[in-house]
Structure formats: structure tokens, C-alpha cells
Amino acid sequence: MILLLFLILGLFLVLRFLWKTSLLHILLNKFRCLEDRLHVHQTYRVPQFNLVFQENELFRKVSTYLNSLPSLEDSDFTNLFTGSKSNDILLRLDINQTIRDVFLGARVTWTIDKSEKNGPKILVLKLRKKDRRRILRPYLQHILSVAGDISQRKKELMLCMNVDSPSGENGRWRSVPFNHPASFDTLVMDVDLKNKVKADLETFLKSKQFYHRLGRVWKRSYLLYGPSGTGKSSFVAAMARFLNFDVYDIDLSKVSDDSDLKMLLLQTTSKSMIVVEDLDRFLTEKCRNVSLSGILNFMDGIVSCCGEERVMVFTMNSKDQVDQPVLRPGRIDVHVQFPLCDFPSFKNLANNYLGVKEHKLFPQLEEIFQGGASLTPAEIGEIMISNRSSPTRALKSVITALQTTGTTKSRRSNDDDELVRTPEETSGDHGGLFSREHSVRDFRKLYGLLKMGSRRKDEPLDLGTVDKDGSS
Ligand SMILES: Nc1ncnc2c1ncn2[C@@H]1O[C@H](COP(=O)(O)OP(=O)(O)OP(=O)(O)O)[C@@H](O)[C@H]1O
Ligand SMILES: [Mg+2]
């Protein structure tokens, strides 16, 4: 009896000891390792890049899947990051970390590895040879479908920026969550123009079959041009949010030569927007690493080499100084002009920033705008933000600013003069500027009526020519 009591007590103490310490866990791990050694395994490697340094989409999808596994939390170690919302904590696989998964009763492991120091990452799948036939294909299908669901559910947009020199790891791009708050709703611009761009993007998204039927690559390029502070960068952000595309923002000054630029393009993924800001400034630089032909090849690059479902956006302050080949028909599909503020846009800003729909100072402001004075939306926005506690003071400050600095002639570029140019005046112009009537007509032709041949298929669509008063 006493012996039995001692036995129970002993058992209790051993269990308690095992429970309190990690010995059980260690023993289980040892047992698993031993068991694993008794099986023949097969390994599969999923490299981050393919042989021509394009990102391997399977790598990205497997990473998404693995990062979603509950067993990641049970790993011996893992990385913790904050998410896009400040309270989010994200678990992310670390180098050399091994994570276990079970599929249809078969145990598999994934290890994240590096081919060399600072080299690209490789995901290594290890499974028992006897399970291979039964599970490999369905398991990979399962991963693709879970990863697809995850990205659909909570696609966090990423902003990717090119780094100076290839350090190897992750290729040439570094990415951060893209949280720019601008959307088409917050942007003040001609409603008609905004709707045209939105419709153009929507049509683009639905046009895979159409492009393929025509034997064209499914891509679209936009030129946003206008003075500084008129909303071009905000518009890029709005486009990305609207499309739900990641943004690849190329800093041309960090590109070492023409082939490096091509390599960057190769390393972008589908469903992305490739953005080159201030292209005009770069092109006028005397000393630059990328030649004009390098830029032109890059602009056409998607067509010739680099994947589909991409939108390219170039921004410029003015088209004046830009070499004609850059703007030639067929190179950029849609031109969107960003003008200085007019009175209707000003009223929208006043409504957004100050909550003012009507005001006794509006007639005076309208008169000043009609007299030709103007400011950028950024300047007006700044004045309104700093005086937002008093709308009257804000409006008076805008009047003063318009009267002192806001003269049209000195601030507008020659591009603005094109606002009133007629199609006849612009015939033969590579920019292909049209009055509103013409641009609407061209817009309608864009997808459905291209075949009718009344517009050359590579002629750019210019959406920047809506008259100030909204008439054509
Ligand atoms: N049309 C607009 N509607 C609402 N806000 C605007 C508009 N244009 C500019 N802003 C505001 O002004 C600021 C600057 O705008 P943004 O950076 O988009 O201008 P930009 O045209 O890209 O200028 P730059 O040519 O100097 O890069 C932003 O904070 C934005 O909110
Ligand atoms: Mg900008």
C-alpha cells in the first residue's frame, strides 16, 4: 500500500516536473527527429527569383501561406513586425526557421534558407518520399488557393522602392506598406476628367480577353503632367488604391545603367503600378546614368519583355522640355493634365477643408479666379488648413495670396496654353491634344471602336483638355 502511494507520488512528481519544464517538448522533438531519420525524404526548393531574376510568384504565395499558419506561433523563434494598423502584430518567417505543416495526414516541413550570404531566399519543402505521390500536387494547389484567398481578403498594398546597388537579398526592391490616404474621393479635380480616368482603369481591369484578342500585352500607361502641387502624386496613390495594385516607385537616379533599369522592370510583379516621378526633370539632367534610349526601351519594356496587367505612370511638371520621342503616339496611352485651381475646384477645396459650401466672399473669389489668378490646390489647401478654425479668415487669406502671388502668366507653363488649342492647331502634334468633345469621342473609341480605325490605335488619349468652364 505504502509502495503504491510512493509510486503515485513519484509519478505525480515526474509529471509535474515534465509539465513545469520543457523536457516533454524536448523529448517529443527528439522522438520526431529520430522518426524522421527512419524515413527517406524528398526536398523541393522554391527560389525567390528565377534564372533571369524575375520574382518567383510561387515563393511569394508560399510565404503568404506559411506566414498564416498557426504553427508559426509555436516555432522556436520567428520575426515580429507591426502591421499597417498600429495595433497589428504580424509573425513572419525568419531565415533558417523551420515550420511544420500537416496535410492529409502527412507531415511536411518548410525551411527558409539562403543560397549564400546576402543571396536570395529559398523555401525548402521536405516531405516523406512515401507521401509524395499522394500529397505533393494537392498540397501545392491547397497553398495556392489559401494564399489567393488571403491576398483577396486583406490585400495590403505595398510601396516598393529601388535601392542603390544590388545587395542580393530581395533583389533590387525594398518594400513598405503603402498607406497613402489619397483616394479619388479626396482629390479635387474636374469630375468629368476623374470619371473618365476611373472608367478607363475599370475597363483596363476587365480587358484581358480584349487585349489578347488584339495580340497586345495587357498594360496601360499614363502621363500625369502639371505644375508642382496640383495633385499628381496624390493621383498616383488614388489610382493604386482604386486598382488595388502595389506601387513600384522607380528612382532613376539610383539606376546604374540601361540594363539595370530593365532588370528592375523584370523584377516587378503583375498587378502592379510602375511609377516614374518627375521624368521631365530627369531627362533634362546633363549627367545621368540612363540614356534616352534606355528610358524609351523601359517605357516600352512591358510590351516587349516584362509581363502583364501592369499600369505605368509617369509624372512631369511640363511637357515643354521633353524630347518628342518620349511623347510620341503609342508610347503613353493616356495623358492627364493637372491644372492650377479654378473657381469650381476652389469651392470643392473649401467644402473639403473648411466645410463651407457657400460664403459671402465667394463672388469676390470667383471674380479673381476669372481674372486669371490662380494657385495650386496644395497652396490653397495649406492656407485652409492653417486657418481652418475661421473659414472667413481662410478665405481672406486665399484672396490675399491670389492677389499677391497667384498670377496666371507667371505661374502657368506652356502646357496650360494648350488647354484652349483646337484639334486643328494640334494636328500633327505628338501630344495628340483634343478639345473635350474630341477627347470624349476618343475615349469611347478606346476599347470598343478601335477596330473601326477612325483613330490610330497607338495615338495617346489626352484627358487633360477639359475647358475651365467645363464646356468644350
Ligand atoms: N487636386 C487636389 N485635390 C486635393 N488635394 C490636393 C490636390 N492637389 C494637391 N493637393 C494636396 O497638396 C499636396 C501636394 O500634392 P501632390 O504631392 O500630389 O502634388 P504634385 O503634383 O505631385 O507635386 P510635385 O509635382 O511637386 O510632386 C498634397 O498634400 C495634396 O493633398
Ligand atoms: Mg509629386
pLDDT tens-place string over residues 133-184: 899 999 999 999 998 888 777 667 889 999 876 554 556 788 888 888 899 9
Stretch (H or E) spanning 391: helix 391-404
Q: Within a domain: residue 158?
A: no
Per the DSSP assignment, residues forming a β-bridge with 108 are 101, 127
Q: What is the atom index within ligand 1 of the atom nearest the CA of 317?
A: 25
Among candidate residues 153, 185, 215, the one where a domain is terminated: 153
Residue among 190, 193, 233, 275 to mutate when testing ligand 1 (max atoms within 8 A of CB): 233
Q: Is residue 308 one of the residues assigned to a domain?
A: yes
User: Are 425 and 350 within one domain?
Assistant: no
Which ligand has its closest atom nearest to the C-alpha of 338?
1
In a domain, 47, yes or no: yes
The DSSP bridge partners found for residue 219 are 310
**Measured distance CA(449)–CA(294) in Å, rounded:** 33
User: Measured between alpha carbons, how far is 265 from 172 in angstroms, rounded to an integer?
Assistant: 10
Under 8 Å between Cβ of 69 and 91 = no
pLDDT by residue (tens digit) across 351-367? 999 999 999 999 999 99
- Regarding whether 453 and 401 lie in a shared domain, the answer is no
Cα→Cα distances 281→38, 265, 315, 388, Å:
65, 21, 10, 34
More confident residue, 389 or 36: 389
| Assigned domain for 263 exists | yes
Collapsing DSSP states into helix, strand and coil, what is residue 420? helix
Average pLDDT, the chain: 79
Residue ranges in 154-291 assigned as alpha helix (H)? 191-205, 208-213, 232-243, 258-266, 279-284
Ligand 1 pocket test target in 185, 230, 247 with most atoms within 8 Å of CB? 230
Contact assessment for residue 432 and residue 460, using Cβ atoms and an 8 Å cutoff: yes
10 in any annotated domain: no
pLDDT exceeds cutoff 80 at 412:
no
What is the rounded average pLDDT of the residues 267-295? 89
Whole-angstrom Cα distance, residue 44 to residue 55?
Answer: 17
Which residues fall within 8 angstroms of residue 406, CB to CB, at 6 or more apart? 368, 373, 374, 375
Among residues 405, 427, 443, which one ends one of the domains?
Answer: 405
Ligand nearest to the CA of 181: 1
The confidence band for 266, taking pLDDT boundaries of 50, 70 and 90, is confident
Candidates 185, 186, 188, 234: which one to mutate for ligand 1, based on the most atoms within 8 Å of Cβ? 234
Does 2 reside within a domain? Answer: no
What dihedral angle (degrees, nearest 10) is formed by the CA atoms of 237, 241, 246, 248? Answer: -10
**Residue 30, domain member (yes or no):** no
ipTM of the complex: 0.98
Atom of ligand 1 nearest to the CA of 382: 12
Same domain? 318 vs 284: yes
Task: Kindly report, residue by residue over 91-127, the tens digit of the pLDDT.
Answer: 788 888 888 899 988 889 999 887 676 677 899 999 9
Same domain, 349 and 399: yes
- Residue nearest to ligand 1 atom 27, measured at CA: 228
189 and 284 assigned to the same domain: yes
Q: Which CATH number characterizes residue 267's domain? A: 3.40.50.300
- In terms of domains, do 234 and 254 share one? yes
Domain boundary among 357, 381, 405: 405
Q: Distance, CA 206 to ligand 2 centroid (Å)?
A: 28
Collapsed DSSP state (helix, strand, coil) of residue 164 = coil
Which helix (H) or strand (E) segment is 360 a member of? none
From CA 188, how far away is CA 375, in angstroms rounded?
A: 13
Evaluate whether 150 touches 68 at the Cβ level (below 8 Å): yes
Are residues 303 and 418 located together in one domain of the fold? yes
Q: 77 and 54 in one domain?
A: yes
| pTM of the predicted structure, to 2 decimals | 0.70
Structural domain total, the chain: 3
Q: What is the CA(232)–ligand 2 centre distance, in A?
A: 5
Same domain (yes/no): 146, 185? no
Contact assessment for residue 395 and residue 359, using Cβ atoms and an 8 Å cutoff: yes
Same domain, 195 and 302: yes
- The span from the CA of 88 to the CA of 149, in Å, is 20
Near ion ligand 2, which residues have CB within 5 Å? 232-233
Q: Are residues 136 and 284 in the same domain?
A: no
CA-nearest residue, atom 24 of ligand 1: 228
* Residue 122 counted as domain residue: yes
Grid cell for residue 460: 495617346
Lowest-confidence region among 41-50, 56-65, 86-95: 86-95
Which residues, at least 6 apart from 387, have a Cβ–Cβ distance to it below 8 Å? Answer: 393, 394, 397
Domain containing 384 equals: 343-405
Please check whether residue 142 is in contact with residue 149, taking contact to mean a CB–CB distance below 8 angstroms: no
Instruction: Using alpha carbons, select from 41, 43, 83, 46 the residue that is nearest to residue 65.
Output: 46
Which pLDDT does position 452 carry in this prediction?
28
Q: How far is the CA of 107 from the centre of ligand 2 (A)?
A: 51
CA 378 to ligand 1 center in whole angstroms: 5
Does residue 337 contact residue 432 with C-beta atoms inside 8 Å? no
Ligand 1: lining residues by beta carbon, under 6 Å: 187-189, 228-234, 317, 338, 377-378, 381
Judgement on whether residues 137 and 185 belong to the same structural domain of the protein: no
Q: Does an H or E element contain 252, and which? A: none
> CA 343: distance to chain centroid?
32
Q: Decide: helix, strand or coil at residue 275.
A: strand
pLDDT of the residue at 269: 83
The grid coordinates of residue 206 equal: 476587365
Among the ranges given (56-65, 79-88, 264-273, 461-470), the one the predictor scored with the smallest mean pLDDT: 461-470
pLDDT band per the 50, 70, 90 thresholds, residue 419: very low
